[in-house]
């Protein structure tokens, strides 16, 4: 899945067992929040970025961490630049950055 700016993101973890608190490193951008009680990452994606985060679920006895890569592409078209011209119904290929989301890990 590729995220675009202005998307209202809500990532809810899937886990079993008791989790007393959640944490994330490095810190999320200012427009995203981690609910430390539920582990939900949410917010409106205001700008493009790509970052590797370590999300940790913990309780008194143990903790488990997963890697999450969040990539956001700018959804606005640049005001200037060259754009390829095509005939109707012709496919063109434009390079895009890929998004990598780790497989869900049960904690």
pLDDT(95) > 80: no
Per-residue pLDDT tens digits for 19-77: 999 999 999 999 999 999 999 999 999 999 999 999 999 999 999 999 999 999 987 76
Q: What pLDDT does residue 85 have? A: 59
pLDDT(94) > 60: no
Give CA–CA dist 95/101, Å, rounded.
19
pTM for this predicted structure: 0.71
Give CA–CA dist 57/65, Å, rounded.
6
């Amino acid at each position: 899945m590729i995220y675009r700016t202005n998307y209202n993101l809500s990532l809810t973890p899937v886990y079993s067992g008791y989790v007393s608190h959640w944490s994330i490193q490095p810190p999320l951008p200012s427009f995203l929040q981690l609910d430390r009680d539920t582990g939900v990452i949410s917010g409106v994606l205001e700008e493009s970025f790509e970052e590797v985060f370590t999300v940790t679920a913990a309780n008194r006895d143990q903790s488990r961490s997963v890697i999450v890569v969040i990539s956001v592409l700018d959804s606005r078209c640049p005001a200037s630049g060259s754009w390829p011209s095509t005939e109707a119904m012709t496919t063109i290929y434009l390079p895009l950055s890929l998004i990598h989301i780790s497989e869900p890990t049960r904690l």
